[in-house]
Chains A and B, each alone.
Chain A
Amino acid sequence: DQQVKQNSPSLSVQEGRISILNCDYTNSMFDYFLWYKKYPAEGPTFLISISSIKDKNEDGRFTVFLNKSAKHLSLHIVPSQPGDSAVYFCAAEGIFGKGTRLHILP
């Protein structure tokens, strides 16, 4: 049973527009959520995190929103840039989702 789910395997977004990546979880005891970005042939790199006591955390172009009642979080990237094309993983307590591949179209 997957405790962290990313149901969209891929997403294509026009450059300059907003990218929204979604993540659902089942364990209400998770107290911290992290997003990682992964380029081919490299290990994941940390992007942004959010504590379960907050509903929003912002860092430059990246914002993560947490809806605890729905057990859902989302990563917003505004504006999307070509270098954002990568696989994005949602994680909690060392448990990773399957990832969403983001393609930024020129």
Chain B
Amino acid sequence: EAGVAQSPRYKIIEKRQSVAFWCNPISGHATLYWYQQILGQGPKLLIQFQNNGVVDDSQLPKDRFSAERLKGVDSTLKIQPAKLEDSAVYLCASSLIGQSYNEQFFGPGTRLTVL
């Protein structure tokens, strides 16, 4: 079974530029998550999708971050414009359903450096 795929693996941009990350979850997983992991911290949930609907985006900085999951499969996360403090690893995860007992399967992450 293929795991969660993410691209790109690394991205370096200047502040105020835009960037987009892509995630393809495990086939059949209805729930998709985007996390931000700053160095030395645990992953912080940015947004959770159930199929193509948003379940929780309370911690997404909506003035600069946006995410979509068209057709309830793959997803993109965009930052526009980027700030220095957005430097982090962006992790995508998926689970069968979005219950608290469901283990999440994580992709390898995209390491973003904002200069």
With an 8 Å Cβ cutoff, the count of chain B residues facing the other chain is 22
C-alpha gap A45/B103 in the complex (Å): 9
Number of A-B contacts (CB under 8 A): 52
The smallest C-beta distance from B105 to any residue of chain A, in angstroms, reads 7
Contacts of B108 in A (CB 8 A): 41-43
B residues sitting closer than 8 Å to A (CB atoms) are 4, 33, 35, 40-45, 48, 56, 91, 93, 100-101, 103-109
What are 24 A-B contacts with C-beta separation under 8 Å? A30-B100, A31-B100, A31-B101, A32-B100, A34-B103, A36-B106, A42-B109, A43-B4, A43-B106, A43-B109, A44-B91, A44-B104, A44-B106, A45-B106, A49-B103, A51-B101, A92-B100, A93-B100, A94-B100, A95-B45, A96-B42, A96-B44, A97-B42, A99-B41
With an 8 Å Cβ cutoff, the count of chain A residues facing the other chain is 25
A residues sitting closer than 8 Å to B (CB atoms) are 4, 6, 30-32, 34, 36, 41-46, 49, 51, 89, 91-99
Q: A94-B33, A94-B48 are in contact. Are A44 and B43 (CB under 8 A)?
A: yes
Q: A43-B106, A43-B108 are in contact. Are A98 and B40 (CB under 8 A)?
A: yes
Q: Is the CB of A32 within 8 A of B42?
A: no
